[in-house]
A and B are shown apart, each in its own frame.
Chain A
Amino acid sequence: MTSPDPLFRELRETLVDHFRRDGAGLLDDHAFNDLALRIFRFQCRSLGPYGAFVRRRGVEPDRVARWEEVPFLPTAAFKVASLMVESPEGAERIFRTSGTTSGPERRGAHHVLDLSLYREALRPTFRAHLVPEGGYLPVLSLLPSPSHAPDSSLSFMMEEILEEVGRGEGGFFVDPIGGVLTGAFRETLNRISRGGSPVLVAGTAFAFVHWVEAARAVGWRYELPAGSRIMETGGYKGRSRALSRGDLYRELTWAFGVPRERIVNEYGMTELLSQFYEPVLPGSPGASRMEDSDREGGVHGGGESSMTDPSETTELAARYHRGPPWTRSLVLDPLTLSPLPPGEVGVLAHFDLANLGSVSAVLTEDLGRKVSGGFRLHGRSPGAEPRGCSLSMEDFLRGVT
């Protein structure tokens, strides 16, 4: 469903045109800024609560000259307001955050006015990073299917990918309450391993940890055909603390026969219709840059086991995330919210044009550093301790819910 608002329709057409052109650089800074400000003004006018938020911050929408000056809306605001440029009842779909940290009553909701914008935005970005050579391959997702998880934007995305990249071949292998459907998954893996064509396995770090633990225990080990690849997501939220990223990737290589250089992290969020990927596979945008000198000193692998290969630690530490041309990301000072110079750790903020129907300027809770071409997510440092003896909200809610 799309909006009857002529301005929305016009902006939507412009965006879809960009999405389909699929090329980096087509939206240069000037063009991005123009489009971003048009969208921002449209959202201020059409989305009452956001407009009020912007005015509370003392910003006059028509006077903003650069997209960086737009007030970025914290994701927590998606928990308290229905943020859509038209009446929220008209949402084609409402995606919700998982609510693992804040309790079920306080899940964030992203009201999506026009799902076709999501479809159009997610496909080329996924293809660019996970199927840069083009073509089709089966897509196996360690996720619940959208019919079992209608709230999940990730499940929705992978169903689109299953159709578009897998042409229906593959499926979802997590049941509604979160367990891996081992029988069906193994049968599919067996069948695929016997063939010679590469496949794509996608899943959350959490589900992969689950799988490799079970696989280690009973010795389920697969050698997926050469050229297979893995998309791993959501490993940064501190849930599967038991396994460092290096350890997880080593386990994935053991379990699926997919080398580390073919494991790609996706960073996405319910509140954004665009996604960010690590340029890892040859031919993906920005992948050549991985070779250059953007790696930092001072990387300390305290969480890694003693068996860690130093080149592995260096390679993982040099990875970064990159968004599609219709997004821009900033790293902001956590108190002043002014942009930080490259290399300094701050709060990530994204401007996502694909969010036309809700709010495009979003302030996340994630930390990162700016690097050329994108940003590097900043995981929890080994040995970091919370400073409050009066407990964190997370501890507290875990205790009472």
Chain B
Amino acid sequence: MSAFRAWHLPPGFPAIPEEVLLPWDGILPPLLLPDLSADGVRDLFSSLREAREEALVQRPVGEVVEVVDRVARRLLEPGDSLREEALAHLAPQAGYSVPMAETVLGGMARDWTRDRLGRLLASELPDPGMLDGFRPAAGNRRLRALGHPVTFHLGAGSVPGVATTSLIRALLVKSAVMLKPGRGDVVLPVVFTRGLAQEDRALARAVAVAYWPGADSSLTREALHGADLTVVYGGDETVRWVRDHLPATASLVAYRHRLGLGFIGREALGASAAEVALEAARAVALFDQRGCVSPHVFLVEEGGAVEPGEWGRLLAGALARLEEELPSGALSPGEGAALQQLRGEAEMRAALDEGTLLHHGGAAAPWTVLVEREGPPRPSCLNRVIRVMAVADLEGSLTWIESWRDHLQTVGVAGLGDRGGVIAERLARLGVTRVAPLSGLPWPPPWWHHDGAGPLRALLRWTDWEEGGTTPEADGVPPPDHR
């Protein structure tokens, strides 16, 4: 397989002459890197800043949506050269199996199509036309919404497609984009941007994608200084580093590490228990559990027709079957080492008969199900390693997930019966930003309040034009009654 070129520059930007082959120790194949200097990054930002007006600001948002939609459809169209290129590189570069890469590409690109983007705009803005000019709004004023001129996106690399989504969000609010994806998410943004350039050369002048190793580098520092807004996806360490190096005048949107869990209520542990287990297994298997939406623990209620231990066995069976449909990617040695430690510790617990049950894919596959009776809850080491915790009742277990509140994002639910409202309310108070059925867990819709905030609104700046002044009369607010 040919090495992948990990960058795409705006049309017309001088080519970067040298390419560097990055040797790679783990399981990922080599990558061709742009030999960028800090000066080169500075030039890129100037070029993006200059291109933005014509490429984005002067065009209606509907046109931007149309161009993105055309690229998305090509990525979904069997046989299209763009899709072929993406699929040729996605699996090896992301460390996924081929069927997984196809599933991820399909799920991601679907969210970049016209209908989904239209619904995203409609849910984020009272009138999407505000992205094109002033529009009347409540409060006796006109509103204009526009993204920051140039944005820098620092991707995490865990789930392919996430960085491209970030890029598209910025284009919708007419921000120029410089994107440095993470190692495992290099392919889609490069291929997507190439598609953009093929479909609409003018628009592509406002987008650059380039990978370089490590987040904490002089190139990243230069980029942080070049951008008006930085969007970072990454671990707590990366986010802290970015915060420390950001100029005082720049804005930051940070998507930190998050994790998910599942609540399986008694009502789901009857006739439908096996079906629920399959949905749960799919939520674990997708993205090989590397997504922030991926569950780490299922809390399973005792007292249903199927007890938690038996449900764990059903889950294990489902994970084993999913290895055929959605095989696991190869483990890096470090991931394998962590997996062996986890399995070994659990085997020892099982040998000591501490109520621990263990099922796993042995030498054939990394999936591992650990059924435990009591806490403390621990996050998974990923790659389809899931804990099943038996709990007397779900309401009672809400207190111990409190210790996860800084990182908790998604809770998948099944079988809550009429307790759904009460539990959702308590999860909301704990800071959970998404409660969803297990089947929908891996695919939050584009308009989900990403980590609790509007995905486009987080990127916007508003201008209020108080045309008629804001006296109480003009606002339509009655004067205060002083009697």
Contacts and interface: CB of A to CB of B under 8 A. Distances in A.
Given A389-B233, A391-B236, 9 more contacts: A57-B347, A74-B340, A76-B348, A335-B331, A387-B184, A389-B156, A389-B157, A390-B379, A400-B406
Interface centre among A300, A337, A396 (most CB of B within 10 A): A396
Interface string B342-371: 111101111110100000000100100000
Interface stretch (A27-35, A277-285, A375-383): A375-383
A393 B406 CA distance: 14
User: Chain A interface: which size bin?
Assistant: 35 or more
B25 A384 contact: yes
A274 interface: no
16 contacts: A49-B352, A53-B347, A77-B347, A80-B348, A80-B349, A334-B334, A385-B157, A385-B184, A389-B234, A389-B291, A390-B257, A390-B258, A390-B290, A391-B407, A393-B381, A399-B407
A336 B162 CA distance: 32
Contacts of B40: none
B342 A76 contact: yes
A392 B382 CA distance: 8
Nearest to B212: A383
B352 A81 contact: yes
B352 A337 contact: no
Given A300-B23, A387-B290, A390-B260, A334 B341 contact: no
A345 B215 CA distance: 25
B391 interface: no
Contact of A56 (B182, B339, B350, B363): B350
B158 A396 contact: no
A367 B341 contact: no
Contacts of A335: 331, 336, 339, 363, 366
Given A386-B235, A400-B403, A367 B333 contact: yes
Interface of B: 22-26, 95, 156-159, 162, 182-184, 213-215, 233-237, 257-260, 289-292, 294, 296, 331-345, 347-352, 354, 363, 366, 378-382, 403-404, 406-407
A310 interface: no
Contacts of A298: 23
B16 to A, nearest CB: 19
Given A363-B340, A384-B26, A389 B351 contact: no
A365 interface: yes
Given A53-B348, A333-B336, A335-B366, A383 B213 contact: yes
A6 interface: no
Contacts of A347: 333, 336-337, 340
A3 B112 CA distance: 70
A52 interface: yes
Given A56-B347, A390-B296, A395-B257, A302 B342 contact: no
A383 B407 CA distance: 25
A393 to B, nearest CB: 6
B259 to A, nearest CB: 4
A46 B65 CA distance: 70
A385 B345 CA distance: 26
Interface centre among B156, B157, B184, B347 (most CB of A within 10 A): B347
A74 B368 CA distance: 16
A74 B345 contact: yes
A391 B258 CA distance: 6
Given A74-B341, A77-B344, A392-B381, A53 B351 contact: yes
Contacts of B296: 390
Contacts of A365: 337-338, 341
A278 B257 CA distance: 38
B290 A367 contact: no
A243 interface: no
Contacts, number: 173
Contacts of B404: 400
Interface of A: 49, 52-53, 56-57, 73-77, 79-81, 298, 300, 302, 333-338, 345-347, 363-367, 378, 381-393, 395-396, 398-400
B345 A76 contact: yes
B343 A74 contact: yes
B240 to A, nearest CB: 11
A382 B213 CA distance: 8
A393 B157 contact: no
Contacts of A387: 95, 157-158, 183-184, 290, 332, 335, 382
Nearest to A380: B334
A334 B259 contact: no
Nearest to B406: A399
A318 B183 CA distance: 28
Given A378-B25, A383-B213, A77 B331 contact: no
A340 to B, nearest CB: 9
Contacts of B381: 392-393
Contacts of A393: 338, 378-379, 381
A370 to B, nearest CB: 13
Interface centre among A74, A77, A302, A386 (most CB of B within 10 A): A386
Contacts of A56: 347, 350-351
A51 to B, nearest CB: 8
B136 to A, nearest CB: 41
Contacts of A79: 345
B291 A334 contact: no
A391 B259 contact: yes
Contacts of B378: 393
A335 B338 CA distance: 10
Nearest to A82: B352
Contacts of A302: 213
Nearest to A303: B214
Contacts of A80: 345, 348-349, 352, 354
Contact of B341 (A75, A300, A383, A395): A75
Nearest to B257: A391
A289 B351 CA distance: 44
A101 to B, nearest CB: 11
Contacts of A384: 25-26
Given A80-B345, A393-B381, A395-B237, A385 B25 contact: no
A184 B438 CA distance: 62
Contacts of A75: 341
A244 to B, nearest CB: 13
B235 A395 contact: yes
Contacts of A336: 363
Contacts of B333: 334, 345-347, 367, 378
A392 B351 CA distance: 27
A298 B24 CA distance: 9
Contacts of B339: 334-335
Contacts of A383: 22, 183, 213-214
A77 B338 CA distance: 13
Nearest to A75: B341
